[in-house]
Amino acid sequence: MASHVHLLPTGHDFISEGKSSLLEAGLRAGLALNYGCSNGNCGRCLARIVSGKVEKTQHHDYRISEHQKASGHVLMCCNSAVGDVVLEASEASSTSEIPHQQISTRVRDISVVNDDVALVHLKTPRTQRLRFLAGQHVLLGVDDIPPSRFSVGSCPCDDRNLHFQVPMLLDDEFSDHVFNKLERGDMLDVTGPGGDFVLDENSSRSLVFVAWRTGFAPIRSLIEHAMSLDVAETIHLVWIAANQQDRYLDNLCRSWADAFDDLNYVPVDAVVGDLEPDGSQLIFKRLNLSLEELSSRDFYIAGNQAMMDVCRTALADAGLPPVQIATDRIVHD
């Protein structure tokens, strides 16, 4: 049976089904709820029931005081909704509210695509999940190799399963380790998160995402987050690469476009030299949007410096203010 949960003071809503904990259901809905261990030890997901009923679903070691119990406080990770519930709970509203973390994760899967990019799937311990906002990056490290920065290429709604898109780089120790030594079951250290390339959830404008090569990693995270929140009327995705093979998750993008009427996928074949001086036409004419339609959208752009400069100039010429343009420079591309 599905229950409707309303959060105060943010006014966010989500649906909780079956025996899912309040925390799990809220995270799946894309909300940045405050939590730590997610198994009843730390107390960071303590929330107050304003109305409705909840049911305790698992034991917890964290001690809730008698005063807190009397005022309706429960741990979201250890309780599920019974019918509709109004809950007073903490949510992160900015990157500064996300704690710095260091987690030893295990490689669940690794696959090399198009001989140039490795897709790495890491899994955190059940008691130490990575709390992050969509679009942020972390440092990945192993043994004595200097850590490298990569954007998390997955939604924070599944905080135990972390996906990364690692390009092959010459004379780079970490890249060499990933492509030639890393295997399933190996351990990788994750440190972070960092970065401010995150969704403006207060904006009601439609969204345009532009990715260059492995800049698709943070863009994928943002799109999946936006879809879980259902915040945009329409979404346009532009993925620029030399060819379809270099858009190594092209089938995923096409499946989004097939499944969601309001998501439009625009693949663009281009190399660095195509972006200047008239690269803006190559990119934005493919969107098939008028200047008025462009100005009513928020843009999220991830790629190398040249690509970002071209996009920023084109959007500024179209009259977009800086507040509607967010960029993330991918350090490896």
CATH assignment of the domain containing 154: 2.40.30.10
Structural domain span for residue 179: 96-194
Distance CA 303, CA 211 (A): 6
The verdict on residue 199 lying in a domain is no
Asked whether residue 121 falls in the same domain as residue 220, the answer is no
Asked whether residue 109 falls in the same domain as residue 78, the answer is no
Domain end point (choices 194, 224, 244): 194
The verdict on residue 48 lying in a domain is yes
Domain end point (choices 58, 88, 118): 88
Over residues 4-17, mean pLDDT: 94
The verdict on residue 39 lying in a domain is yes
Over residues 140-161, mean pLDDT: 94
- Which positions ≥6 away from 267 have C-beta within 8 Å? 238, 239, 241, 244, 247, 250, 253
Over residues 223-242, mean pLDDT: 90
What confidence tens digit (pLDDT) does each residue in 66-108 have? 999 999 999 999 999 999 999 999 999 899 999 999 999 999 9
Over residues 234-247, mean pLDDT: 93
Residue % of the chain over a pLDDT of 70: 96
The verdict on residue 185 lying in a domain is yes
Asked whether residue 82 falls in the same domain as residue 144, the answer is no
Ordered DSSP codes for 183-241: -TT-EEEEEEEE------TT--SEEEEEEEGGGHHHHHHHHHHHHHHT--S-EEEEEEE
Asked whether residue 323 falls in the same domain as residue 232, the answer is yes
Q: What is the pLDDT of residue 276?
A: 61
SS (H, E, C) 79-104: EEEEEEEEEECCECCCHHHCCCEEEE
Asked whether residue 40 falls in the same domain as residue 104, the answer is no
Residue 20 sits in a domain of what CATH number?
A: 3.10.20.30
Asked whether residue 129 falls in the same domain as residue 210, the answer is no
Asked whether residue 300 falls in the same domain as residue 235, the answer is yes
Asked whether residue 159 falls in the same domain as residue 225, the answer is no
Q: Is 275 left (phi over 0), alpha (psi -120 to 50) or beta?
A: alpha
Q: Number of folded domains in the chain?
A: 3
Over residues 54-63, mean pLDDT: 94
Q: What is the pLDDT of residue 126?
A: 87
Asked whether residue 295 falls in the same domain as residue 318, the answer is yes
- Is residue 15 scored above 60 in pLDDT? yes
* Position with higher pLDDT, 182 vs 1: 182
Distance CA 117, CA 175 (A): 10
The verdict on residue 304 lying in a domain is yes
- Which residues on neighbouring strands pair with residue 138, listed in sequence order? 150
